[in-house]
Amino acid sequence: MAAAFLAWGGFCLPVGLAAQSRTMVLGYGSGNLETDLPRGESNYSIYMDGAMQLPSSCMERLAGSKLTRIRVAFADTLTDQENAVFLSYDLDGTPFYTQPVDKFDAGWNDVVLEVPYEITGARELYVGFSCKSRGYVVSFDGEESNGMGDWFAFSQLDSESPSWHHETGSGSLNIQAVVEGDNLPQDALSVASVRIAKCVPVGEAVPVDVVVRNMGANTVESVTLDCTMKDGTQSFELTGLAIPSNGLQRLSLDDFVVGYNGISDFSVAITAVNGYPNTYEEEAYVAENLLCRAEYANRMILLEQFSTAICANCPTAHSTLRRAMEKQGNVIWVTHHSGFGTDDYSIPASQDYLYFFGSEPSYAPAMMLDRTNFYRYGADIASGPAFEVGTEIVPRLLEEENNAPAYVTVSIASSFDAESRRLEVEVSGGIPSKDAGKLSGDDIRLNLYLVEDSLRGMQMGLFNTVYEDYHHDNVLREVLTGVWGDAVTFDSEGNYASLPYVFVLPEGWQPENMRIVAFLANADLEVPNNCAVYNAAQVRLGGSSAGNVAIDEVPALPGQPRIRRWGDVLEVEGGEGQAEVYAVSGSLVKVFPSASGMDISGLAPGVYVLRLFGQEGNHTFKFIK
């Protein structure tokens, strides 16, 4: 698939479209304000220029419209304010339009052009900005760049002809152009990326994560996707969305079932947007040569991070990992507060896990993926599976591990009594092939963690910044098994089951913020690189990983709003945004203007779907009345 993520077009619109937007956004950046460039105040001022390239094919399709605004984001506040935005046909030449800007603040800045640019035909255009500041405060998104949104130049000297280059490794600049007109493409969506495991089980639902970008002017509220393998095509309709023009969002398909046994390509195509044919013309996204076997299991990847509150580089690493995980949902994140000193969240087990640095000294930020050594794929340590967190390497290694086959399942069943704070957990699973030899280790063990999110505390940042109320997530609080796990015995059918683990939560631990993480791994206390994780699972306290759970039985996982039920009232933490209730047939039965308190007493008994619409995204849950 072409890597261009630009929202453009001049397409025929469906007849009868009731409302058309006259405004759309063009850009390549995802909006993340992080960058690998060093930031912060230095001893001298730097002149910086950035630009994105709009090719002639884009401009031709937008003919008759006007470019009215330029939006640009910065990762920090500029210390100097010598700013401008510009339009140019050639970066090596002088811009034909330059407009001074009084002030650029940290975050997004919206500059209205005093003279809008009329798009008359197929002529390539560069949209850019100039600024001066102490330190590199320009904002890149840290994603993979397509080579059109990463034009950058900097110098200690003011120059009318800066030396432009592609700032590789940092992603695309967070710069956007706003276009207005009467003939803009309306319902258009592009597939930016697809995540599906290379080795997938036959006859089971396989997780598929599709990242899309809105290439039109209309907000995308519903999408129809076709997923095709050799055994046929399965269509999925996703509703309750709110993807703005140029916006990115991950769509998770949880019910795609592989019916073909063998090797097959897998393709994803968007056929409809907002109930109308997709007007963005592109070929279907294709993943080649998927291995479909009954002996495989769905894989959950265990990501273990080494981080401490006194690690100044760790907040940037946290952002890097969050960005990578936004694209796929089969990753479990656990943080060991070790590697660079200790802090209030350090526990002895996390210190023991420094063993995974091998013969190298420990440091933070660092990480592991399934305790597997990735040195030959670019990781910086050969003697152990731990490696440095990096913008480019993390997505690549996640993709590599996503392609490794899983031969065993992990299922968690738990109960939690809020009054006594007593937790009971059992873990079971099996090897679909019934052949324990598929797991190559000599000492396979079950590991069981308690992890807490939303802990507030101090965190060091770059350039001696101190965050007093930092949001610490994924913190390992307790190891319920031995530090290196407990022995697992498989029966003749390849199944295993643990005895119950019982634990009473200490006062101060917040049950609603806690997760149970279980995984099977080999234990080798002589060779750190021989401790691979075979598969993992996670649930909230009192939850089960065996199937879908109603919202009144278990809180949501990270990235979802937390929902509590008080009799016939549903309460969403934060309470922002609108909520809608649908019958399982798909009919809308009730609308709540605010999710702060939803009275469902008037609903007939049955199963319903709750859809939440908020600033942090849209989410769908089931509940029983």
How do the domains of the chain map onto residue ranges?
A: 23-180, 189-293, 563-624
Q: What is the mean pLDDT of residues 593-622?
A: 71
Report pLDDT for 585.
47
Residue 95 makes CB contacts below 8 A (sequence gap 6+) with 86, 87, 88, 128
Sign of the Cα torsion 143, 50, 112, 178 reads: negative
Looking at the chain, the number of H-run helices and the number of E-run strands are 4, 41
Q: Cβ–Cβ contacts within 10 Å for residue 305, how many?
A: 23
Q: What percent of the chain has pLDDT over 70?
A: 87
Model confidence band, residue 99 (pLDDT cutoffs 50, 70, 90): very high
3-state helix/strand/coil string of 187-240? CCEEEEEEECCCEEECCCEEEEEEEEEECCCCCECCEEEEEEECCEEEEEEECC
Report pLDDT for 162.
76
Give the β-pairing of 444-452 and 486-487: antiparallel
How far is 159 from 46, CA to CA, in rounded Å? 11
Report pLDDT for 157.
67
The answer to whether 137 and 39 have CB atoms below 8 angstroms apart is yes
Model confidence band, residue 431 (pLDDT cutoffs 50, 70, 90): very high
pTM of the model: 0.77
Model confidence band, residue 606 (pLDDT cutoffs 50, 70, 90): low
The answer to whether 139 and 112 have CB atoms below 8 angstroms apart is no
Report pLDDT for 471.
87
pLDDT digits (tens, 9 = 90+) for 370-414: 999 999 999 999 999 999 998 788 988 999 999 999 999 999 989
Report pLDDT for 464.
79
Q: What is the mean pLDDT of residues 21-45?
A: 73
How far is 550 from 353, CA to CA, in rounded Å? 36
Side-chain half-sphere of 47: how many Cα atoms within 13 Å? 13
pLDDT digits (tens, 9 = 90+) for 232-242: 999 999 999 99
Domains 23-180 and 189-293 share a fold: no
The continuous run of DSSP H or E covering 496 comes out as strand 495-497
Tokens representing residue 466 in the block = 């101190």
User: Is residue 40 over pLDDT 50?
Assistant: no
User: Is residue 54 over pLDDT 70?
Assistant: yes
How far is 6 from 305, CA to CA, in rounded Å? 34
Q: Cβ–Cβ contacts within 10 Å for residue 418, how many?
A: 11
The answer to whether 127 and 22 have CB atoms below 8 angstroms apart is no
Report pLDDT for 593.
79
Report pLDDT for 259.
85
How far is 94 from 327, CA to CA, in rounded Å? 39
pLDDT digits (tens, 9 = 90+) for 148-179: 999 999 877 665 667 899 988 788 999 999 99
Higher per-residue pLDDT: 371 or 45:
371
User: What integer best gives the mean pLDDT of the chain?
Assistant: 86
Identity of residue 198: K
Tokens representing residue 114 in the block = 């005093």
User: Is residue 226 over pLDDT 90?
Assistant: yes
In the three-class reduction of DSSP (H, G, I as helix; E, B as strand; rest coil), residue 378 is classed as coil
User: 472-476, 495-499, 551-555 — which is least confidently predicted?
Assistant: 551-555
The answer to whether 400 and 377 have CB atoms below 8 angstroms apart is yes
Q: How far is it between the farthest Cα atoms of the chain?
A: 77
Report pLDDT for 34.
65
Q: What percent of the chain has pLDDT over 90?
A: 57
Q: What is the mean pLDDT of residues 553-573?
A: 64
User: Is residue 568 over pLDDT 90?
Assistant: no
Model confidence band, residue 533 (pLDDT cutoffs 50, 70, 90): very high
**Rounded alpha-carbon distances, angstroms, from residue 364 to 34, 53, 316, 461:** 18, 37, 11, 13
In the three-class reduction of DSSP (H, G, I as helix; E, B as strand; rest coil), residue 294 is classed as coil
How far is 178 from 24, CA to CA, in rounded Å? 6
Q: Cβ–Cβ contacts within 10 Å for residue 121, how many?
A: 10
Tokens representing residue 176 in the block = 């956007």
Best CA proximity match to 398, nearest among 473, 312, 481, 326: 326
Which residues lie across from 496 on neighbouring strands?
Answer: 429
- Can you spell out the DSSP letters for 132-153? EEES--B-B--S---SSS-EEE
Q: Which CATH number fits domain 23-180: 2.30.30, 2.70.98, 1.10.3710, 2.60.120?
A: 2.60.120
Q: Let me know the angle formed at the C-alpha of 353 by 351 and 355, rounded to the nearest 5 degrees.
A: 105
Report pLDDT for 64.
92
How far is 68 from 87, CA to CA, in rounded Å? 12
Q: Cβ–Cβ contacts within 10 Å for residue 415, how many?
A: 14
Side-chain half-sphere of 157: how many Cα atoms within 13 Å? 5
pLDDT digits (tens, 9 = 90+) for 227-272: 999 989 999 999 999 999 999 899 988 788 888 899 999 999 999 9
Q: What is the mean pLDDT of residues 79-100?
A: 92
Identity of residue 61: R
pLDDT digits (tens, 9 = 90+) for 279-301: 888 888 898 999 999 999 999 99
Model confidence band, residue 487 (pLDDT cutoffs 50, 70, 90): very high
Domain boundaries 189-293, corresponding CATH code: 2.60.40.10
Residue 175 makes CB contacts below 8 A (sequence gap 6+) with 27, 29, 50, 51, 52, 70, 71, 72, 73, 127, 128, 129, 149
Residue 508 makes CB contacts below 8 A (sequence gap 6+) with none
Higher per-residue pLDDT: 621 or 527:
527
Residue 507 makes CB contacts below 8 A (sequence gap 6+) with none
Exposure string for 247-269, b = 16+ CB within 10 A, e = fewer: bbbbbebeebebeeeeebebbbb
Q: What is the mean pLDDT of residues 100-112?
A: 92
**Rounded alpha-carbon distances, angstroms, from residue 576 to 307, 525, 537, 556, 579:** 32, 49, 30, 16, 9
Report pLDDT for 596.
72
Q: What is the mean pLDDT of residues 171-193?
A: 93
Q: Cβ–Cβ contacts within 10 Å for residue 96, how many?
A: 12
How far is 371 from 383, CA to CA, in rounded Å? 12
How far is 314 from 387, CA to CA, in rounded Å? 14
Report pLDDT for 14.
39
